[in-house]
């Protein structure tokens, strides 16, 4: 019964001849609701937004291609401004997929060295916030989701997290750098939020 969800890599494979996001829409519709994909934003390398038109209305949408390193898949931020049908309140929803590290290096020492990919994620996070600032013309509440390809306990720091919270976004799970337990979480329900999502 979700209203809006952000997806990444949702175009890369097909299931029975349809894309992954189309398969998800069918599954969600089978459980009730009028699920749709935000369209008209161009090719976004699988970064998509699905929403339930029975509960929210899409007012407008857009996207921005992010900087990347040579040879990597293009990266995007996709956004939509929605209206909650029951209250007529507006909100701004964005989702993104930042560049990954090639492979995490397990080490017990933290040198603090910053890789090119680390710096690119920091740049991309800044571009995401710039797109939100430029597009959220109604100054409505913002929800940002995505695959940030970042880790709160790996060195040197979680650069996107610092960019996003430094720009005023609130982390609902309370997961700052190096935390092992939630720190001032605001979400009502947390399930194993202390774990990395790739475990």
Examine the pLDDT at 168 and tell me if it is beyond 80.
Answer: yes
Residue 131 CA to residue 84 CA, distance in Å, equals 22
Q: What is the mean pLDDT of the chain?
A: 88
Which of 121, 6, 132, 161 has the alpha carbon at shortest distance from 64? 132
The residue among 102 and 136 whose pLDDT is bigger is 136
pTM for this model (two decimals): 0.91
Given pLDDT bands bounded at 50, 70 and 90, which one contains residue 104?
low
Q: Of residues 116 and 157, which shows the higher confidence score?
A: 116
Q: Which residue has the higher pLDDT, 46 or 194?
A: 46
Condensed to tens digits (0 to 9), the pLDDT of residues 31-64 reads 999 999 998 777 788 999 999 999 999 999 999 9
Q: What is the DSSP letter of 72?
A: S
The sheet carrying 48-52 orders its strands as 4-7, 48-52, 35-37
Average of pLDDT values for 189-197?
74
pLDDT of residue 42: 73
In whole angstroms, give the CA distance from residue 138 to residue 141.
Answer: 9
The predicted-structure confidence for 58-97, as pLDDT tens digits, reads as follows 999 999 999 999 888 899 999 999 999 999 999 999 999 9
Tokens of 159: 């650069």
pLDDT band, very low/low/confident/very high, at 197 (cuts 50, 70, 90): low
Report d(CA 120, CA 99) in Å as an integer. Answer: 7
The pLDDT of residue 113 is 65
Report the percentage of the chain scoring pLDDT > 90: 60
Q: Return the percentage of the chain with pLDDT > 70, whole number.
A: 91
């Amino acid at each position: 019964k979700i209203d809006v969800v952000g997806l990444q890599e949702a175009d890369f494979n097909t299931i029975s001849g349809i894309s992954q996001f189309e398969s998800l829409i069918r599954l969600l519709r089978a459980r009730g609701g009028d699920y749709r994909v935000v369209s008209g934003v161009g090719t976004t390398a699988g970064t998509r937004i699905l929403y339930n038109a029975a509960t929210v209305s899409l007012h407008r949408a857009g996207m921005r291609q992010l900087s990347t390193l040579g040879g990597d898949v293009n990266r995007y931020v996709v956004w939509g401004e929605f209206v909650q049908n029951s209250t007529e309140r507006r909100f701004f929803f964005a989702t993104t997929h930042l560049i990954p590290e090639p492979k995490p290096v397990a080490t017990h020492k933290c040198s603090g060295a910053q890789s090119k990919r680390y710096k690119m994620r920091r740049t991309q996070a800044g571009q995401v916030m710039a797109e939100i600032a430029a597009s959220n013309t109604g100054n409505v509440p913002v929800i940002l989701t995505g695959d940030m390809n970042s880790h709160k306990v790996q060195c040197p720091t979680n650069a996107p997290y610092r960019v996003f919270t430094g720009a005023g976004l609130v982390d609902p799970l309370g997961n700052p750098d190096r935390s092992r337990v939630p720190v001032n979480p605001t979400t009502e329900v947390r399930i194993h939020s202390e774990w990395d999502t790739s475990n």
